[in-house]
Structure formats: C-alpha cells, structure tokens
Amino acid sequence: MNKWLRKSFFVIVSVLTFGLVTPTQLMNSVNAENLGDRDAFEAPAQESSLTSTTAFFEETDFNREKFIEELIKQAEIQSYQKFGSKIKPVIENEFREIILPNIEKALDETSAQFPEDDLKNLTITEQPSAGHSEKIFNIKNRLTGNDILLFHVRRDNPPQAGYWFNFHYHTYHDEFQSHHELGSIYWAKNTPPKWMS
C-alpha cells in the first residue's frame, strides 16, 4: 500500500508541476526522511527546474502573472515536502488560508522590483531542510547564484503557550537580517516531530 501511495504521489506531482519536479527529485526528498540529526544544518540546495517554464515563456510572450503562479505552486510543494507526513495533515488548512497568501504577496512584491529579463532568471530551490532547520525554500537568481528571498519556518515555544510554527522570510535588501512575518500556526502543547518526518 505504501509503494502504491508513493507512485500515485509521483504521478500527481508530475502532472501538477508539468514535469518541473521529476520523480528522481521527489525520491531524493522522500529518502531525506532517513537522514540523521547531522542533517539538521542547512546544506546547499539545488535549484528547482523552472528552466522549462522559463524556456516556454521565452518562446512565447512572457507572462509575469503565470510565472509568479508557477513559483507559488512550487513554494506550496516545497512547504508540504518540508512538513512531512506527520505535520502536514495537522497544519495544511491553516497554511493554505494564512501563510500561502502571504507568501504570494511577498513573491508579488519582490517580482515587481525586477524587469522581465531578470525575473525570468528567478528560480526556487528544490530541497527543504530536514530535522530542526528552518529553511523551507530560497528564491535565487539562477545566473548569478545569489539568493533573493529566504523562506523559513521556526518552532516557537512561548512559556505555557504550546508550540507554534512561525513562518517568515528574509530578503537580500538588508542582507537577510530582518524577519518579515508571514504568520504563525499553533501546533499543540506536545513537541512537534522533526521536519520531513
């Protein structure tokens, strides 16, 4: 049954992302569940293959809105991958209602700062960090390799308030120093599982 679910998930992801995320990439992320605590630190992430999307837009008229929609789809996929099978079912609805619209707003605001030629070069990293690391995904310029936005989720545990997931992002404008809030989602009193578990 577990293999059937994985295969179905691969097909669904491939169809929904128009081949931007390959089963090999997805399998690498599934295998990340088996990584130990040593992987709680962020490793350099690979870029998601938005190249085919970019090539499509270069062949036809570039459409800024469709390009941003594709980035948002990829951001949602990366977020669910980060949550893993234990956290996702608990926070998925609130994430969609509260956090995802704010991610979209951040991407819209950032994209407005770039001319079309530069916007075409923005990509999303393909591997969120597992364990206790905050990284969900980065937006970077694929030509220069420079990060533009870093999207993170931090576990907060205020005294006698349970555990919360604080979603935020950092921007290159201030060298990634400030936290730009996206929202928080309550988990429970008990300690949440590790990311991607």
pTM strictly above 0.95: no
Give the span between the Cα atoms of 120 and 112, in whole angstroms: 12
Average pLDDT of the residues in 90-104: 96
Q: From residue 189, how far is each of 112, 121, 194 by CA, in Å? A: 40, 43, 15
Q: What are the pLDDT digits (tens) for 17-43?
A: 544 444 444 444 444 444 333 333 344
Distance CA 188, CA 151 (A): 23
Interatomic CA distance for residues 74 and 29, integer angstroms: 14
Q: Is the torsion defined by CA of 152, 76, 130, 28 positive or negative?
A: negative
Contact 162, 189 (CB under 8 A): yes
User: Cα dihedral angle (82, 84, 87, 89), rounded to 10 degrees?
Assistant: 120
- Separation of CA 173 from chain center: 20
Which uninterrupted H or E stretch holds 13?
helix 2-16
Query: pLDDT tens digit string along 101-146?
Result: 999 999 999 988 888 888 888 999 878 999 999 999 999 999 999 9
